């Protein structure tokens, strides 16, 4: 049986790394791309896994990564757009540069990779593009307005594009993880530059412990791999898949509750005072 090949962006840590490991376990060829593959040691030791340089903001590296993957493995069957990060803080505290960088990576980076792979998939008349969005692409938390903006944009882009590409037998998939215990709450998170602005200080100090608790209590990134595998292999035109125990439940509530009621639930969860507040203040 011919091995299938998957190319994944953002594989150095977290969800991207977990997806690469799962597809390796399932016997696929894996192009695990990242900005600095020379620093990777674990994935590079796995059979039929190649760590390849790809920066989603650099079109030359995208084209080179696709070409190298095809040269190594003979083809690309599935592309997973996973690379991204979260900008957190009051919107007023963010700079124009921070806002632009958030959209460049989380939205335009996905578009760059998608644009590059489409000619290959279209010529073959088959292929799967899987975009890692978020439950935060259809609901919101406070202090993540720009991050949510990118994920809502990604949802709309993917859903709109799936109409255009069906004629070429190219399937579009959206994965919507809930909170996942990754370094999204650490290395992959950027804090707005004026985070300590006094206008928002009391609100930030009240909300942040609850948001951080959601990350600390979340399942590990390994729960996402099987969901991505199902999306890649089910041969259906299904568009959305939830991952993580909270993802499906939150989407159910979003679907059945009036917006006013759902937003009230969010406020109840994240704006309540917490016994973690003193600890957060001490660490801030």
Distance of CA 57 to the CA centre of its chain: 16
Of 283, 139, 137, the C-alpha closest to 212 is: 283
* pLDDT, position 180: 76
**Domains observed in the chain:** 5-283 (3.40.50.720)
* pLDDT, position 186: 47
* pLDDT, position 284: 47
Helices (H), the chain: 14-25, 59-73, 96-103, 109-124, 145-165, 201-216, 224-233, 245-256, 259-270, 277-283
* pLDDT, position 86: 93
Tokens found for residue 241: 């898949």
At residue 2, the 3 state secondary structure works out as coil
Phi, psi of 112 (to 5 degrees): -60, -45
Question: Residue 261 CB: number of other CB atoms within 10 A?
Answer: 10
* pLDDT, position 276: 46
Cα angle vertex 109, ends 103, 113, to 5°? 160
* pLDDT, position 178: 82
Q: Is 147 annotated as catalytic?
A: yes
Phi, psi of 165 (to 5 degrees): -95, -10
Cα gap 75→6, rounded to integer Å:
9
Catalytic residue, chosen from 147, 229, 241, 280, is: 147
Of 231, 280, 277, the C-alpha closest to 22 is: 231
Q: What is the pTM assigned to this prediction?
A: 0.89
Cα gap 283→271, rounded to integer Å:
19
pLDDT of the chain, 284 residues: tens digit per residue: 689 999 999 999 999 999 999 999 999 999 999 999 999 989 999 999 999 999 999 999 999 999 999 999 999 999 999 999 999 999 999 999 999 999 999 999 999 999 999 999 999 999 999 999 998 998 899 999 999 999 999 999 999 999 999 999 999 999 999 877 555 444 445 666 544 467 888 899 899 888 887 766 777 899 999 999 999 999 999 999 999 776 677 788 888 899 999 889 888 988 887 554 445 444 54
* pLDDT, position 193: 54
Cα gap 179→213, rounded to integer Å:
10
Of 264, 127, 241, the C-alpha closest to 178 is: 241
């Amino acid at each position: 049986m011919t091995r299938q090949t998957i190319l994944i962006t953002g594989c150095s840590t977290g969800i991207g790394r977990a997806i690469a490991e799962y597809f390796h376990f399932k016997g696929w060829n894996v192009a695990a791309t990242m900005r600095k593959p020379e620093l990777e040691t674990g994935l590079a030791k796995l059979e039929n896994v190649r760590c390849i340089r790809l920066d989603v903001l650099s079109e030359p590296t995208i084209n080179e990564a696709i070409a190298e993957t095809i040269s190594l493995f003979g083809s690309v069957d599935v592309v997973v757009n996973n690379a991204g990060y979260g900008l957190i803080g009051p919107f007023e505290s963010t700079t124009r540069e921070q806002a632009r960088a958030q959209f460049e990576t989380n939205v335009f980076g996905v578009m760059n990779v998608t644009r590059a792979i489409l000619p290959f998939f279209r010529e073959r008349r088959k292929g799967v593009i899987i975009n890692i969005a978020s439950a935060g692409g259809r609901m919101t938390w406070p202090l993540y307005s720009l991050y949510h903006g990118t994920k809502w944009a990604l949802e709309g882009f993917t859903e709109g594009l799936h109409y255009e590409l069906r004629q070429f037998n190219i399937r579009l998939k959206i994965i919507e993880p809930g909170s996942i215990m990754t370094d999204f709450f650490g290395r992959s998170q950027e804090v707005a530059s004026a985070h300590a602005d006094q206008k928002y200080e009391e609100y930030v100090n009240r909300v942040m412990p609850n948001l951080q608790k959601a990350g600390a209590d979340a399942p590990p990134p390994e729960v996402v791999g099987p969901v991505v595998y199902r999306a890649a292999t089910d041969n259906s035109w299904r568009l959305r898949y939830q991952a993580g125990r909270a993802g499906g439940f939150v989407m159910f509530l979003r679907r059945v509750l009036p917006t006013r009621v759902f937003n009230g639930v969010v406020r109840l969860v994240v704006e309540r005072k917490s016994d973690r507040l003193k600890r957060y203040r001490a660490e801030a």
